[in-house]
Structure 1
Amino acid sequence: MKGARMRVAVVGAGIAGAACARALADAGHAVQVFDKSRGVGGRMSTRRVTSVAGADAVLGLDHGTPGFAAVGADFLGFVEEGQRAGLLARWTPRLAPHSAALQGGAMWVATPDMPALCRALLMDLPLHTLCTVDGVRRSGAMWSIESAGVTVADGFDAVALAIPPQQAAVLLGVHRPDWAVRAQAVPMLPVWVLMGITDAPASGGDWHLAQPASGPLALVLRNDAKPARAALAAQAQWVVHATPDWTGAHLDTPPDQVQALLQAALADCVGGALAWRFAAVHRWLYATLAAVSGDEQTDGAHACAGAWWDVGTGLGVCGDALAGGGVEGAWRSGRALAALVTAGANGDRA
């Protein structure tokens, strides 16, 4: 039937899932979104710090994606629309000596925190947080969503998996074992992240972003220099990404030891000891894409611009790893899957 309205479950509320859900809803489909976290955003995450040495300010440390570039004309148009709506701001940080120049000299950040963009895309859609999806079941022509072995929602015509490929592989195994193998093989790399607040450094220069050429650190940011972030006098807010190689070598190191090692590396980077008021670490197991592989056509499925879609069963996969990585890749992949779902609802099986 042309123009059929489908019920679609989207698993994952990061930028890929949010973009997919928004495009599906705008096309007239009924969408429900499920995510294991207490909020949305996925790797576009912000850690809130509510008490630092008696300060009343609520501070946000963007410990996931620190910012992103916009390259393609379609994504740039989306970003500029977000800027006009007050959701995105362009940031041109002062670079530390010997740091590689940013593409275009700037990056985009969501305001007032990184999850804000996903919140805006999902604001009027049914959202189930703190719901770890551990099964998707197909009975007849309909899908159900399971969490902790219990059916939490059913009656869906289609399911879109917008989660890291290794996590999607677990859900795909029963229905598309060939996809499960492909997803498991996607080369995603882990990253340890240190976030914290210190007294303002006595040395190290007046810079906002450093990309050390060697050592354990890949990226050092002054988070309080970003647009729409709260700043406190005589304090500095840091977000520090370890390199994937260093992270891999310390993947199972206790967090307190990782924190101490990264704090020492940051002190070396700024040229002196730092007085810490707050510090924490977070391990992203699937933080970045190691390499990009093409989407080869598979039997019974359509692949288009970085999304997998099985029109026969109503099962799809999207995410940054399928479209070159990063926020732009995630957005592009989510929208591509939504287009494939809509085409299937309209009877286009080619």
Structure 2
Amino acid sequence: MTGERARVIVVGAGIAGVACARELAAAGVPVQIRERARVVGGRMASKRFDGRPADIGAAYFTVSDPDFARVVEGWRAAGLAREWTDTFVAYGADGRRAVPGPMRWAAPGGLRSLVTELAAGLPVTVDRLVLGVEPGPSVDGTPCEAVVLAMPGPQAALLLDPALADATRAVQAQQWTSTLSAVLRFPHRRWPDFAGAFVNDHPVLTVLCDDGDRRGDGEPVLVAHTTAEFAGRHLLQPTAAAAGVEEAVRDLIALPEPADHVHVHRWTYAKPAAGLPEAYHLDDDGVGLAGDAFGEPRVQTAWLSGRDLGRALARRLTA
């Protein structure tokens, strides 16, 4: 597709946008992906500290759909993904207890590495800020036959021309919550044995993961995710929340020594508050929306949404 004008422009290189673009490319539809960040991945984000990745977005993913399972098996065969744990612990008013559940998957190289692999061979332009989607449709004045906005609804709303009424209504139907994720690096592993923890009814914490266990290298690194209420007080200056998150983590699991370093990342739109009933949005104006807002807030949901939207667009454009 090199040199061809894109018939579809996908804005957002998270797993939903990349899955959509893969379907279009497989059907022979020229497509381009534009991503405002410097790397692909979206909320499947990881950041390196002294060369070691830590997941700062999604904590893990689960698998129940057979088509997604085949993708995951490819990642596993390539050494990119691994089964992590089927048991978390829960901290709450009744103390600490084990909570069995589905198998959670992790990535030794960080969850972002999975999106990077999925995007291989696709025309992706990173560090490209999109300013507007206009009727036609067009993206920043570049005409195309369809536009896919693979991002949280409030971000998509900022790009849409009001004349694109159907898409505007669709993004306004989405509700999102915020969180902060904090990577805490300690000098030693001195906490109770656990893979991950749900923290119930806590003023600061919702999830705590042993990143050394998740990554499989045993490094003394924890990653904490905060409540929306706590995050809301620190969205303007997330670094100021580091001390509060560290104190909450150390108190929860009785850590005797402080962290060597705490990095805090802000997610203004971290998680859809309520899933929409449809799998994706595609209107007569040629605007599509995909992501984990269309169902349960899961990595698998985002992949399915993007995949299904890509197939729907391919059918429309190749009919």
- TM-score above 0.5: yes
1:134 to 131, 135, 139: 131
Amino acid at match of 1:103: G
Q: Is the CA contact (8 Å cut-off) linking 1:136 and 1:144 kept in structure 2?
A: yes
Q: Is the contact made by 2:89 and 2:196 (CA closer than 8 Å) also made in structure 1? A: yes
What's the CA shift string for 1:214-245, capped at 9, x where partnerless?
312111111111245x554xxx1111001223
- Structure 1 or 2, whichever has the larger Rg, is 1
| Amino acid across the alignment from 1:169 | A
Q: 1:210 aligns with which of 197, 201, 205?
A: 197
Provide the rounded CA distance (Å) in 1 between the counterparts of 2:113 and 2:104.
Answer: 16
Deviations 1:179-210 (A, max 9, x none): 313312312111111112012254x4122212
Q: Please say if residues 93 and 209 of structure 1, whose CA atoms lie closer than 8 Å, have aligned partners that are also in contact.
A: no
| Residue 139 of structure 2 is aligned to residue 145 of structure 1 | yes
Q: In the alignment, does 2:255 pair up with 1:272?
A: yes
Paired residues for 1:254-269 under 5 Å: 254-269=237-252
What's the offset of the Cα at 1:28?
1.1
1:124 matched to 2:121? The reply is yes
Cα gap change, 1:12/1:256 in structure 2, threshold over 3 Å: closer, same or farther? closer
Q: 1:45 maps to which residue?
A: 45
Are the equivalent residues in 2 in contact too, given 1:201–1:272 (CA < 8 A)?
Answer: no
Task: Give the SS at the match of 1:116.
Answer: helix
Shift of residue 68, structure 1, vs aligned partner? 0.9
User: SS of 1:9's equivalent?
Assistant: strand
Query: What TM-score does the superposition give when structure 1 sets the normalisation length?
Result: 0.81
Length-normalised TM-score, structure 2 = 0.89
- Give the alignment of 1:52-201 within 5 angstroms: 58-92=51-85, 95-96=88-89, 98-99=96-97, 101-104=99-102, 106-139=103-136, 143-146=137-140, 151=141, 154-201=142-189
**Cα distance in structure 2, aligned partners of 1:261 and 1:251:** 11
Query: Counterparts of 1:175 and 1:87 in 2: how far apart (Å)?
Result: 43
- Tell me by how many angstroms 1:246 deviates: 3.0
Give unmatched runs, 5+ long, in structure 1. Answer: 51-57, 296-305
AA in 2 matched with 1:184: Q
Q: Which residue of 2 aligns with 1:343?
A: 315
User: How far apart, CA to CA, are the structure 2 residues paired with 1:324 and 1:175?
Assistant: 30
Deviations 1:153-191 (A, max 9, x none): x34222111111111122234342243133123121111
The aligned amino acid for 1:238 is: L
Q: CA deviation at 1:74?
A: 2.4
- Residues 1:6 and 1:275: Cα distance change in structure 2 (over 3 Å): closer
User: Measured at CA, do residues 293 and 159 of structure 1 come closer, stay the same or move farther in structure 2, by a change above 3 Å?
Assistant: closer
Q: In structure 1, what is the Cα distance between the partners aligned to 2:275 and 2:210?
A: 30
- CA–CA distance in structure 1, aligned partners of residues 174 and 98 of structure 2: 27
1:35 alignment counterpart:
35
The alpha-carbon distance between structure 1 residues 100 and 74, as it changes in their structure 2 partners (threshold 3 A), is farther
Q: Report the Cα distance in structure 2 between the residues aligned to 1:156 and 1:27, rounded to whole angstroms.
A: 17
Counterpart CA distance in 2 for 1:100 and 1:284 is: 28
Query: Is the 2:181–2:225 Cα contact (8 Å) retained in structure 1?
Result: yes
* 2:267 alignment partner, one of 259, 281, 284: 284
Summarize the Cα distance change of 1:99–1:131 in structure 2 as closer, same or farther, 3 Å threshold.
farther
SS of structure 2 residue aligned to 1:101: strand
The amino acid that maps onto 2:313 is V
Aligned partners of 2:134 and 2:160 also within 8 Å? no
Taking the TM superposition and a 5 Å limit, the aligned residue runs for 1:299-310 are 306-310=279-283
Q: Note the alpha carbon deviations across 1:66-115, whole angstroms, 9 max, x for none.
A: 101112222223222322232221111764463562532x2112342211
Counterpart amino acid of residue 346 in structure 1: T
Distance 1:22 1:111, change over 3 A: farther
| Distance change (3 Å), C-alpha of 1:28 and 1:102 | farther
| SS, match of residue 133 in structure 1 | coil
Structure 1 pair 144/177, CA: closer, same or farther in 2 (3 Å)? closer
**What does residue 299 of structure 1 align with?**
none
Which residues in structure 2 correspond to 1:9-28 (within 5 Å)? 9-28=9-28
Residues 184 and 246 in structure 2, CA contact (< 8 A), matched pair in contact too:
no
Task: Say if 1:12 and 1:253 are closer, same or farther in 2 by CA, change over 3 A.
Answer: closer
Asked whether the equivalents of residues 167 and 288 of structure 2 are also in contact (C-alpha less than 8 Å), the reply is no
Residue 218 and residue 195 in structure 1: after superposition, are their counterparts in 2 closer, same or farther (change >3 A)?
A: same
Between the two proteins, what is the percent identity of the paired residues? 31
Letter in structure 2 aligned against 1:64: G
Residue 253 of structure 1 deviates from its aligned partner by: 6.0
Q: Size of the alignment, in residue pairs? A: 309
In the aligned structure 2, how far is the partner of 1:174 from the partner of 1:253? 28
Amino acid at match of 1:10: V
